[in-house]
Amino acid sequence: MASQCGLLCHVIVLVLCLVHPSLQQDVPIVMGPVNSQAAVGTDAVFYCKVRAGQGLVVYWILNRTIAIGPNVNRNEALPKYEIFGNALLGYYNLRIKNVTIDDDAVQYDCLVDTKGDGSNYEEGATLSVDNPALEPMGPVCLGATDNEIVLDEGDELENYRCQSSGGRPLGELKWSLLRSDQTLVDVDFDTQVNTTPSITATSSSYTVTSDDHESRLACSLTHPNLNADSICSVPSGSAMIIVRHFPIVNFGPRLDVHYLETKNATIRCTATAYPDLITSIPQLSFSDPDMLIATTLTEEGVIDAVIRISQRSDVGKSINCTAANAKGSTTSTLEIELTPRLPVWLLMVVLILACLVVLLLSLCCCYCFCNGCKPKAVEDQPDRGDIKAAGYEVNESRSASVFKPNGLNGTDPRPINNDDADSFGDIQLNDYTIYPLPLPSSEPTTEFNDHETGEYNDGYLSPDADEMFPPMVEDEHLMDEKRISTFKPDDEMNGFASPTSPPPPPPPPLDLDPPQPIPSIEDD
């Protein structure tokens, strides 16, 4: 309690505002709390019923100091208290959990704030905490007979009373309807507590349906000393509540066909009724009687049939299942619907065809690729291999005929040329550098071609072509560099070695005549 003093101010204001019950004709509290007992560790309950449907706001005041509410306990600091009950009927009951002698044996007030006019109304009671807990007596379903109760759909089931007396604390009562399928349906009820002590629960009006056929009203008593709820029922014994109702017809399954589909389907109609069906078997009727192939089963309340339905002719047609009893007749209709989807077999066929097409296409591609490219590669390769083996490398992009004439061209403008024809080494270098320049004068090409004995110019440069000129690409690089350098003979001599190949090749060995000019160039 000490920890709850934070709420004190709020509560004091509330309490000071209390107004005495001056409006006696219109008392907002229908039933206030009653002094009661609880045992240590059990839950105590105070009931408070206010006028329902008038927008009343309900608080519970603990020990005249702490307010809980409105209407529900949202205060997480006080989880010990719960405001519960059927608010539609005006119940705002207080549950005090796990009571102790020191803290909970105080006064509890149900306070109603009549919204709008600012006046409050309250009724209070005191809790006494005693040991031990005592088991209550009951429940007793007052006036219950063991005769079955026969009702029609829509009738009211009301004012059944159930009572429990004694106990510390009092037991808690509750009404519900136990249906034939063992489900429980809540039934509204009123609660009354007497100082005897006793507690009475009175069922309020409940409208029965066909689902309640063969059910029972059950009153259950909950108490900490009871392991399981204790129950009394209406009617008592093995009798039940009988609800006369129209036949309940279940007809299915849903009938649908896909595009291009024709199929056989089995449908089942079951009917239950009280009183019993006039014809013990439900009747099928077809908008197109040709649909029916056979009726495969008939027994009390059940009929099965096999029908043939087709997307082409039967979409929109319907089948009725009708059952009738003394109350009347019920019809359930199945309509054949079109589900806009291709049948599975067609999808499979399309899928397989698609796979085949893809397979064929890829085979064709494979075939074309292999036949189109591989042979070429085979033809090309051997040539190169031969050339390499012979120690020569050929650049495919330039034909030897083009190069040679340029190199031999006497009109070469380059400064290097002291003796054009003297050294073949010079000639070769000139070939590459000048290659673009001499094009305009095409006459000499033919002449010089004849002079050239070998088809491969590079062959002159290095006899050991294998090592000196590794791959073609590098060769080209070398040529390019040569071009950049201003074609001094020095370059010629040293430069032919590619950066990767360590020893520079010996001077062009093919012709023995030219060696003389080289030294003279070096002197320059």
Cβ closer to ligand NAG: 39 or 141?
Answer: 39
State the angle between helix axes of 400-408 and 424-434 in degrees (0 to 180), rounded to the nearest 10. 110
The nearest distance, CB 2 to ligand NAG, in angstroms, is: 8
Cβ closer to ligand NAG: 233 or 330?
Answer: 330
Cβ closer to ligand NAG: 60 or 91?
Answer: 60
- State both tokens at 151: 């009702």
The nearest distance, CB 211 to ligand NAG, in angstroms, is: 22
Peptide bond into 70 cis (omega under 30): yes
Cβ closer to ligand NAG: 237 or 316?
Answer: 316
The nearest distance, CB 262 to ligand NAG, in angstroms, is: 8
* Residue 427 phi, psi dihedral angles, 5° rounding: -60, -45
Closest to 325 measured CA to CA, from 389, 288, 271, 259: 271
Whether the Cβ atoms of residue 112 and residue 23 lie closer than 8 Å to each other: no
Cβ closer to ligand NAG: 179 or 263?
Answer: 263
The nearest distance, CB 303 to ligand NAG, in angstroms, is: 15
Provide long-range contacts, Cβ within 8 A and 24+ apart, for 17-21: 17/118, 17/120, 18/111, 18/120, 18/122, 19/119, 19/120, 19/121, 21/121
Cβ closer to ligand NAG: 75 or 320?
Answer: 320
Angle at 234 between CA 233 and CA 235, to 5 degrees: 115
The nearest distance, CB 320 to ligand NAG, in angstroms, is: 4
Pairing label, strands 161-165, 198-203: antiparallel
The nearest distance, CB 77 to ligand NAG, in angstroms, is: 15
**What residues make contact with ligand NAG under the rule CB under 6 A?**
1, 41, 63, 65, 98, 100, 103, 106, 263-264, 285-287, 293, 308, 318, 320, 331, 333
The rounded distance, in Å, linking the Cα atoms of 395 and 377 is 17
- State both tokens at 392: 């020569």
Which residue's CB atom is positioned nearest to ligand NAG? 1
**Would you put residue 398 in left (φ > 0), alpha (ψ -120 to 50) or beta?**
beta
The nearest distance, CB 52 to ligand NAG, in angstroms, is: 32
Cβ closer to ligand NAG: 288 or 476?
Answer: 288
